[in-house]
Structure 1
Amino acid sequence: MRKRSITLKGHRTSIALEAEFWDALDAMAATDNRTLPALIDSIDRNRLKQSPPPGLASAIRVYILKRLKAS
């Protein structure tokens, strides 16, 4: 597990993911031509629409899985 701190909605948060997930997320952000925080913010906004919302790390893993399956 690797932790990274980012700012979401003006608040610092720490996210712990396996290195492989960070690598995939970095690549997806680069492919989309946006920053990693911008991509995570988008994932966060979508997860908050769910009831109950999953944890952010889980939402990120599911996002990566769905995106990889769609490609």
Structure 2
Amino acid sequence: MSPVRKRSVTIRGHRTSYSLEDAFQGELERITTERSTSLAALIAAIDEGRPRDTNLSSALRLFVLDAVRKG
């Protein structure tokens, strides 16, 4: 498995960072292509919908897991 990498994105006008393994990042990018959206827009939507006690990196992993399970 690849190491966790810190990444940055601008959402709603401010920079934020998250940490993901390459496999999760790759799935996020695949989903953006599938949905014809940008990575920043997808991350912003996930960020907006996540429980406040869940950090962004965990919310992204859970989103990807759910998407993969649904096929």
Pair 1:3 & 2:2 matched: no
Task: Tell me how many residue pairs correspond in the alignment.
Answer: 68
Q: Distance in 1 between matches of 2:10 and 2:53?
A: 19
* Residue 13 (structure 1) aligned with residue 16 (structure 2): yes
Q: Which runs of 5+ in 1 are unaligned?
A: none
Tell me by how many angstroms 1:9 deviates. Answer: 1.8
Look up the match of 1:33: 36
The equivalent residue for 2:56 is 56
Same amino acid, percent of matched pairs: 38
TM-score using structure 1 length? 0.88
Letter in 1 for 2:25: W
Per-residue deviation, residues 3-47 of structure 1 (Å, max 9, x unmatched): 221112211111110011100100001100000000001100110
Following the alignment from structure 1 to structure 2, what is the Cα–Cα distance between the partners of residues 53 and 27?
A: 27
Structure 1's consecutive aligned runs of 4 or more residues displaced over 3 angstroms after TM superposition are none
Paired with 2:69 and 2:19, the residues of 1 have a C-alpha distance of 23
Q: TM-score, normalising length from structure 2?
A: 0.88
Unpaired segments ≥5 residues, structure 2: none
- Structure 1: how far apart are the matches of 2:17 and 2:66? 23
